Amino acid sequence: MNNKQGPIGIFDSGYGGLTILDEIRKSLPQHDYIYLGDNARAPYGTRSFDIVYRFTLEAVRYLFDRGCPLVILACNTASAKALRTIQQHDLPAIDPTRRVLGVIRPTVEQLGRHTKTGHIGVFGTPGTIQSESYDMEIAKLYPGFKTVGHACPMWVPLIENGEASSLGADYFVKQEADRIIDKDDNIDTIILGCTHYPLLYTKIRKYIPEHISLLKQGEIVASSLADYLKRHTAMEARLSHNAHTTYLTTENASKFSTMASLFLNHDIEATTVEL
């Protein structure tokens, strides 16, 4: 085997990126993956720009050191606050042949297929919404569209604490669902702009009017990555194909393994690492 081949790195602040990994693995089952959750420092959603950038860069460097030629930031907060600087400033100095991709652009590219009114809602962490990354990306690709961002500060903590199925979660989901519709009742498409949110999908669907499409990012990012690798054959040739996934966390490994197994519906075993 070519010893330059390596796994695809998938990074998130915590468990949310598992919803992306799951879909990517369905579409590219033969590839190898390293999933890294920075659970010790999650959530990122309320942290400042500089801190999210610093933590994300540490994670990317770590995944490069573990041999990943390609890293996916499976986290909207990190994509919003760190991706551009890493791509434009850090990557050329670290290794210009490697790639770091995010989740915002591929999601926005799909909007034309879903909306009729051009009024787009975005649920996200406070960090993602404050960054206005979705507003800017949507304005670039679809200049006539209106973007209505809405921060849901309680949703990630509910999920990270294993409360996604509780009655308490219903309260917080309904509250934000009502608020986004109050902001603009012409919205016909809502992006779940945080990789944790698919874990609340059933509840979000329950409180958002039926005619509104809810976009989950997993399938979108998976098909965009498959397409990217078809077009970038040199990168594809650098990826290893043993259908193996390694799970790493910066927090307690057995806690991560238990939670991640619930999210993925199969048992996994994680290892603790320091970034």
Residues lying near ligand DGL in the complex (CB under 6 A): 12-14, 16, 42-45, 75-77, 125, 128, 156, 194-196
| Closest CB 87 distance from ligand DGL, rounded Å | 18
The residue with tokens 């409180």 is 207
Residues 184, 208: contact at Cβ < 8 Å? no
Tell me the one-letter amino acid at 54: R
Largest Cα separation within the chain, whole Å, is 57
| Closest CB 62 distance from ligand DGL, rounded Å | 17
Give 186 or 252: the residue with its C-beta nearer to ligand DGL: 252
Which residue among the candidates 36, 71, 122, 194 is catalytic per the annotation? Answer: 194
| Closest CB 158 distance from ligand DGL, rounded Å | 11
What is the Cα–Cα distance from 111 to 133, expressed in whole angstroms?
15
The alpha carbon dihedral of 211, 191, 231, 13 has a sign of: negative
Give 162 or 209: the residue with its C-beta nearer to ligand DGL: 162
Residues 73, 11: contact at Cβ < 8 Å? yes
Residues 219, 20: contact at Cβ < 8 Å? no
Residue with the shortest CB distance to ligand DGL: 45
Tokens of 122: 């975005």
The residue with tokens 């089952």 is 29
Is beta strand 189-192 parallel, antiparallel or unpaired with respect to 213-215?
parallel
Give 25 or 196: the residue with its C-beta nearer to ligand DGL: 196
Which residue among the candidates 18, 34, 70, 75 is catalytic per the annotation? Answer: 75
Is beta strand 119-124 parallel, antiparallel or unpaired with respect to 213-215?
unpaired
Give all strands (DSSP E) within 108-145, no chain letters. 119-124
Whether residue 75 lies in the annotated active site: yes
Strand partners, 235: none
Give 7 or 127: the residue with its C-beta nearer to ligand DGL: 127
Whether residue 68 lies in the annotated active site: no
Give 69 or 124: the residue with its C-beta nearer to ligand DGL: 124
| Closest CB 52 distance from ligand DGL, rounded Å | 9
Backbone dihedral angles phi then psi of residue 12, each to the nearest 5 degrees: -145, 165
| Closest CB 2 distance from ligand DGL, rounded Å | 33
DSSP state of 152: -
Annotated catalytic residues are: 75, 194
